[in-house]
Amino acid sequence: MNVMVIGSGGREHAITWKISQSPKADKIFVLPGNPGTRQIAKNVSGISIDDHGKVIEFCKSNQIDLVIIGPEAPLAAGLVDSLSDAGIRCFGPTQAAAEIEASKAFAKDFMVRHNISTARYAAFTQLDEAIHYLQSVDYPIVIKASGLAAGKGVILPNTIEEAAAALEEMLVDKIFGEAGSEVIIEERLIGQEVSLMAFTDGTSVTPMLPAQDHKRLLDGDKGPNTGGMGACAPAPVFTNAMLQETITNVLQPAINGLRSEGRRFIGVLYAGLMLTPKGIRVLEFNCRFGDPETQAVLPLLKTDLIEIAEACVDSRLNEVDVQWKNGTAVCVVLASKGYPEKPEKGQIVSFGELPENMICFHAGTKADGDKILAAGGRVFGLTAWTNNIKSSIEMVYANVKSVSFDGMQYRTDIANKSVKTDFGNG
């Protein structure tokens, strides 16, 4: 089979790396890819993923049998609809189904319609109404831009003044553009967060290993929010009972709900969960693989990812026995100086040897002749997997200096929180 992966980050490197191990893979293309994917696949340049006609043309002339889409933006822009209409098989949801991520207002209403537990909320497009509501709630809140804001659209205000200022910035100053023209004011929940991704063919769901992201920049969950500074999987805090509960009360109702509303969802449904004292609540749904979670989850996947993706596209996911390796994977993000506000770019990267069961996924790099340069905020995801969480943490940090560039910053406590709750499954 010829397969094309769409995207250019650490998540797409992880997907490409995984499918490159499949005996089913003949040629693998990545649009546009990065210097990491270039080592294992053919990067495609000169085509914008916004130009659906050009993407279709490329797929046809290169006999692409399956397209796997990484990021949310092309999904929300209807790339799956365009490709499917042209007869090209896609692992990813339609535009209507991607709304579960692309519009938080839609997602919240959807959860209420389908009885999926989530925080109390209200949605607004008018500043005065939003502020009026703010004054009426007697619990701590969060404020969210409804649209896609690259992970930056959530504000946790400490005072009512801060909340009012955030509302004004979104609704009036349009700091997130159209994405903030509607806002959600939501009850603030407390607890540990877990990311549960699941494969789906639109009817059945097969969960992946539960993972934990580390969103704050600095150790001890301090500093600003980022796109994610590291991940571990499986997350030991998430018990098997919680997994069963989430399948029954969250994932399956979501997939049933999307289907009953005529929104065709094939691909990965990601539930961002908060484990609150009152039970599991959904913080958000994403319509795709999470990043960096995927960089920790896929190294533990035993089953052929192409086989799973094909089964999803062919509506026979329940025929596949999705299997996982024992043990735990830990991914540490290596970021540029200045990330997330003003990341510095262009530093030359040097690489040392990595032991077996470790991989350095490229997230934001650029090739310059035979040199690799840092080209983004999150530059690499360094992942190690062993049969227990402690040794995975030790291994990833023992080798963190095998990759280096000027100003490289990373958290030194990824997955530490999990060690306390891990009883070992290796």
Residues that bind ligand AMP (CB under 6 A): 119, 142, 144, 154, 186-189, 193, 215, 272, 283-284
Q: Residue ranges of the alpha helices (H) in 277-339?
A: 293-297, 305-313
Exposure string over 208-236, b if 16+ CB within 10 A, otherwise e: bbbbbbbbebeeeeeeeebbbbbbbbbbb
Binding status of residue 99 toward ligand GLY by CB under 6 A? no
Nearer CB in complex with ligand GLY: 124/285 = 285
Q: How far is the CB of 281 from ligand AMP (least distance, A)?
A: 8
Binding status of residue 213 toward ligand GLY by CB under 6 A? yes
Hey, is 49 helix, strand or coil? coil
Q: What is the DSSP letter of 407?
A: T
Binder of residue 293, out of ligand AMP, ligand GLY, none (CB less than 5 to 8 A by kind) = ligand GLY
DSSP string, 210-253: -BEE--EEETTTEEEE-S-SEEEES-TTS-HHHHHHHIIIIIHH
DSSP string, 170-211: HHTS-TTGGGGSSEEEEEPP-SEEEEEEEEE-SS-EEE---B
Site for ligand GLY in 345-404 (CB under 6 A): none
Single out the segment in contact with ligand GLY by CB under 6 A; choices: 39-47, 63-71, 137-145, 289-297. Answer: 289-297
Binder of residue 291, out of ligand GLY, ligand AMP, none (CB less than 5 to 8 A by kind) = ligand GLY
Q: How far is the CB of 231 from ligand GLY (least distance, A)?
A: 7
Binding status of residue 291 toward ligand GLY by CB under 6 A? yes
Identify whether the C-beta of residue 90 lies closer than 8 Å to the C-beta of residue 84. Answer: yes
Nearer CB in complex with ligand GLY: 209/372 = 209
Nearer CB in complex with ligand GLY: 290/327 = 290
Q: How far is the CB of 425 from ligand GLY (least distance, A)?
A: 23
The strand pair at 28-32 and 3-7 is best described as: parallel
Binding status of residue 290 toward ligand GLY by CB under 6 A? yes
398: how many CB neighbours lie within 10 A of its CB? 13
Q: How far is the CB of 282 from ligand AMP (least distance, A)?
A: 9
Backbone angles phi, psi at 188, to 5 degrees: -85, 130
Binding status of residue 228 toward ligand GLY by CB under 6 A? yes
DSSP string, 116-171: --B--EEEES-HHHHHHHHHH--S-EEEEESS--TT--EE--SSHHHHHHHHHHHH
Single out the segment in contact with ligand GLY by CB under 6 A; choices: 236-244, 283-291, 346-354, 378-386. Answer: 283-291
57: how many CB neighbours lie within 10 A of its CB? 13
Q: How far is the CB of 273 from ligand GLY (least distance, A)?
A: 12
Binder of residue 99, out of ligand AMP, ligand GLY, none (CB less than 5 to 8 A by kind) = none
Positions that interact with ligand GLY (CB under 6 A): 151, 213, 228, 286, 290-291, 293
